[in-house]
Structures are given as C-alpha cells and as structure tokens.
Amino acid sequence: MCQPISTPVTPEIRFQPTSTPATREIRRVVIAGASPAGLHLQALLHTHNKAPDARVTYDVTLIESRPDLGQLDQDDLQSRQSCMTGLAGNGLEAIRSIPTLYENYVSGIGIPITEGNMFISPTNISTESVNKNESDIPDSFIVDRNFIVAAFARYAKDNIATGPNYTCKYETEVLYVDSENHRVLIRDKASKEEEYLEYDLLVGADGVCSTAREALVKCHFDFELEVSDISATFKAVDIVRGPWEAIAKEQEYETELL
C-alpha cells in the first residue's frame, strides 16, 4: 500500500534526457514493515539507485516493530517460527531479479514441492512436480515466512546497510501518519523516544493492522479495502516426526512371527 505525493507526469518529464548522478532528484521513501514485500521493495530501490542512468535516488527508511530477524542464528530463528508460505512463479522471479539475492540468501532455505494434492469431495487433483532435475532451481517450494524475512534482512545488511540512502529502524513503531504534511510519527520501543519522519512516498507493508493502510482508508475516500480472515475455518496441527523406520521394522518383525 503506497501513498505518493501527487505529481503529474507530463511528456516532458517522461522523456527528459538522462541525467547524471549529480543531478538526481532525491525521493524520501518510508517503508513501514520489514515483511517480505517491504524488504524486497528496499532491495529493488537499492538496485535502482545503482543504475548509472537513473534520474531519481530513493532515500529509504525501513521501520519495523519487531527485532531484526537477520541478526538471529539458526536456533533462535527456529524458536520464532511463523506460518508456512509458498514461493513459486512470479514470486521467485521477483527474488531472482535482485542480483545474488536468491543464489546467496534464499536458495536452500525452503522445501521443494515435488507433488501437490488437492481433495475436493471424492475428487483428487494431483500435480506432479516439474523439478525433476535436482540441479535446477525449483519452480516452487514452501518455507517458514520468518526464514524468508531473515534471508532478506541478511541481504540488506551485507549489500545495503553500509551504503548511502538507507536507514533501518527495528523495534520501532509507527504511531501516526500525518498525511497532510507527509510525515509519520514513530517511537523507539526501548527508549520511548518519538520523532517525525518526512516522506515523499509511504509504503505500508506492515500487515493487516497496517497504520499506513488505515491512513489511506481515512484520508482517501476513493480507496477501498476489505479485510477477511479464514483462520476460524481450519486448524493447524504440528505433528512431531517419530522413529518411523524403527516402528516399521518392529511391525515387520511381528508380522514374521505371526
């Protein structure tokens, strides 16, 4: 969800000659939420900033109320498991569009999908995997959402954080969006200090209870939003894997005795 300052795009602006980096326009971007979408956007803007013929430099500030998952080791990350999500098609193509993001950070953190089954009444719709060559990049896999977030955050630390035009504020809350003056009020959860951040583009990637999204609904009457949830219609069950091979051998032994 974005809230840009309205600037009409005229033919003169769209087709103006390529500018040099010294004459680039600076656009302040505030991304509320270190979600996969928010972290992917900051990576895209960073890639854009490195383009020699870009006419705009995006100065990005990322705000996230949770700790930086990219700083956690594997054991700590396992203790913060979230919902499982699928990556396929367009999602993987978007990740691969960022140089080294898939190869060095995302590859190997998920479980490749080899077969899919969907049961509708007595009908079973089955799809075999197209990932027949294990050396190929999988076309789809499932992964814990927090593992994706951590991978994106590590990419940002290694490739973006040390450069210009990037600031991250973890464990910081977005309290209020002042749409009229194009600024957001934020508060550091540890120090309780509050400050305003001005923006040219505000992106709400902070989930269903997004403060940025709420501001869009209140301030723009032509903006429609409907939130629904299906969590009440299903139940997630975690099954601990047991020593199935030992059990199978024991049952086979008992069968031989019989």
Confidence (pLDDT) at 25: 92
Confidence (pLDDT) at 66: 93
Strand partners, 93: none
Does residue 222 have a pLDDT over 80? no
Burial class (CB in 10 A: 0-12, 13-18, 19+), 226: exposed
Strands (E), 55-209: 56-64, 84-88, 111-112, 115-120, 123-128, 140-144, 166-170, 172-178, 183-188, 194-198, 201-204
Crossing angle between the packed helical segments 36-49 and 145-159, to the nearest 10 degrees: 20
| Residue that wins the pLDDT comparison between 256 and 144 | 144
Please write the tens of the pLDDT for every residue from 64-89. 999 999 999 888 888 888 888 888 88
Side chain identity, residue 15: F
Helix (H, G, I), strand (E, B) or coil at 152: helix
Q: List, in order, residues 6 or more apart from 124 with CB less than 8 Å away.
A: 117, 118
Q: How far is 7 from 132, CA to CA, in rounded Å? A: 49
Does residue 151 have a pLDDT over 60? yes
Q: How far is 102 from 39, CA to CA, in rounded Å? A: 14
CA angle 191/158/162 to nearest 5° reads: 65
Does residue 255 have a pLDDT over 60? no
Place of tokens 């999908």: 113
Confidence (pLDDT) at 168: 94
| Residue that wins the pLDDT comparison between 111 and 47 | 47
What DSSP state is assigned to residue 6?
P
Place of tokens 């996969």: 36
Q: How far is CA 154 from each of CA 65, 70, 95, rounded to the nearest angstrom? A: 17, 5, 14
Predicted TM-score (pTM) of this structure? 0.73
Confidence (pLDDT) at 76: 87
The percent of residues above 70 in pLDDT, for the chain, comes to 67
Of 86-100, 135-149, 183-197, 243-257, the least confident: 243-257
CB atoms inside a 10 Å sphere around CB 186: 22
Confidence (pLDDT) at 7: 46
